[in-house]
Copies of this chain bind each other. A is one copy, B any other.
């Protein structure tokens, strides 16, 4: 290891703050600002001060090494991109307000790249002509731009941020699956090396194959994503990707029976009135799918996730029905709809509404419900969809145990894109048989600046940051108390450690009490803190391990030997 400079706190641009910034909601936001790692420039746009830049560089280096190791080639594309390719792909308009758009002096339209599928497709179209040129994987670590409606949580969700994006290009589906597997394994190694606790979850429903898209999530209270995981098997998924089994029931049920149910405007009042649990009732939500009235049936105790419904039915447009729609359809009795009487209305349902299950539901007349309405006997489901909001305790689709819901930060996403962009830009190469072959593509991202926030979230405690060694801005933080003998010992310790190749932060600031310096050291979160304090004259120092809080007094020579071991 080469000799390193000692970074002196007396000159370091890392002013610590005692107070939390007013707008900071999350732990990482508060601590990264207070410990002098970042400063806000404008909403969602951040300056990385020296300590922050070091952590960012450490993350980038690990990402780069693992991308190189799978044979991906590093390039650097512009952030300032012309409109045309994004018009071809449709994303110039699809992105809406999320895109930063601008004009140059000649009035030509540009955007600041939020992600680069279009441009990489064009690069490969320029560079590759034959199947012999593929497979190829390209990546960059680059500044990205997204005009978030509500930038928040510091560098966790910024409008300008650092991202590693990579793209694979293959001639076959098998090739794409291999490139995807290489990325998946590289991402596992990256997050392992970074020291990030993470889960890999399906990002799309099992119906689409399951492996076509996965997210890497770092569990953290500040996370904006919710995911489910199973305490008894290794199942984990984005809540949007959870699927529930359809389990038909074999049972004899009494015949349908209508009951008067006045003054039961809600599921709760209905269930109380009839003395049944809400889960025994069937709620029928009416929506319009591309203008066609459609009913969606779910148990009365569950909520429909309209976002999921929209995704299942895309590109069809889903809207809620209005009072006018009811006026046009006197057969639909608002508040008393039941599937058993809906001749011409398409009926979608949650898998819990399985064949053979019996329900209390609307009788399609005012103030009246029906009991013993049996799926398959009294009504048919046109299509089963997973559209209910997942709740803790829902059965694991793999083993049936009760699922947990946790919050997490999305730190990576891998995605088998397929031929969408190759189709848009006509990306073909000459195949083995001499005919053009359309290229298939994968897209893979890691939020590099976001990973810094995730690391801060996962490792911090009430005293401050506590970085894993691989990403810490220094290896040892040497704290000198104020007397000459203490400062001299600290200087000697720092020089020796730096001479051994360790990265050393030396608190040589004058006029501060040892207590203030130690508080700052705990806030800054370097893995080891070495204090030259009251026993300095005897060459005895205190060595503190930041993450565990263990501290011990020992001779300087022994401390140095231990740190440089």
Residues of A within 8 A of B (CB): 5, 10-15, 36, 39, 41-42, 45-50, 52-53, 56, 68, 71, 73-82, 97, 100-102, 104-105, 108, 110, 112, 119, 123-124, 126-128, 132-133, 136, 138, 143, 145, 147, 149, 159-160, 510
Contacts and interface: CB of A to CB of B under 8 A. Distances in A.
A39 B76 CA distance: 11
A508 to B, nearest CB: 11
Contacts of A128: 13, 15
Contacts of A160: 78-80
Given A102-B101, A105-B149, A123-B47, A41 B73 contact: no
Contacts of A149: 105
Contacts of A133: 11
Contacts of A101: 102
B80 A15 contact: no
A78 B110 CA distance: 19
Nearest to A135: B11
Contacts of A79: 79, 143, 160
B39 A73 contact: no
Given A13-B123, A13-B136, A80-B112, A75 B100 contact: no
A97 B102 contact: no
A136 B10 CA distance: 10
Is chain A's interface secondary structure helix, strand, loop, or mixed overall?
mixed
Contact of A74 (B11, B50, B77, B110): B50
Nearest to A7: B73
A213 to B, nearest CB: 25
A11 B137 CA distance: 9
B11 A78 contact: no
B15 A126 contact: yes
18 contacts: A12-B73, A13-B75, A13-B123, A42-B78, A42-B82, A45-B78, A46-B78, A47-B76, A47-B123, A49-B75, A49-B123, A56-B76, A78-B160, A79-B160, A102-B102, A102-B112, A104-B159, A132-B510
Contact of A47 (B13, B77, B145): B77
Given A100-B104, A132-B510, 10 more contacts: A13-B73, A39-B123, A41-B78, A41-B82, A42-B82, A42-B110, A49-B123, A50-B73, A52-B75, A102-B112
A159 B76 contact: no
Nearest to A14: B127
A42 B123 contact: no
Contact of A75 (B53, B112, B126): B53
Q: Which of A5, A36, A110, A119 is most buried by chain B, counting CB atoms within 10 A of its CB?
A: A110
Given A73-B12, A510-B132, A47 B105 contact: no
Q: Which 10 A-B pairs have the closest CB atoms?
A: A102-B102, A48-B76, A97-B105, A50-B73, A42-B82, A45-B78, A15-B127, A80-B160, A41-B78, A105-B147
Nearest to A134: B11
Contacts of A71: 5, 11
A126 B136 CA distance: 46
Contacts of A102: 100-102, 112
Given A48-B76, A76-B47, A127-B15, A41 B81 contact: yes
Contact of A50 (B75, B78, B126): B75
B47 A119 contact: yes
A102 B101 CA distance: 7
Contacts of A53: 74-76
A511 to B, nearest CB: 8
Contacts of A52: 75-76
Contact of A48 (B11, B42, B75, B100): B75
Nearest to A49: B75
Contacts of A124: 13
Given A80-B159, A82-B42, A75 B104 contact: no
A373 B172 CA distance: 88
Contacts of A77: 41, 47-48
A41 B14 CA distance: 38
Contacts of A119: 41, 47
A242 to B, nearest CB: 32
A211 B11 CA distance: 27
A351 B162 CA distance: 55
Q: Which of A11, A14, A138, A159 has the most CB of B within 10 A?
A: A11
Given A10-B132, A15-B126, A47-B119, A100 B80 contact: yes
A82 B45 CA distance: 10
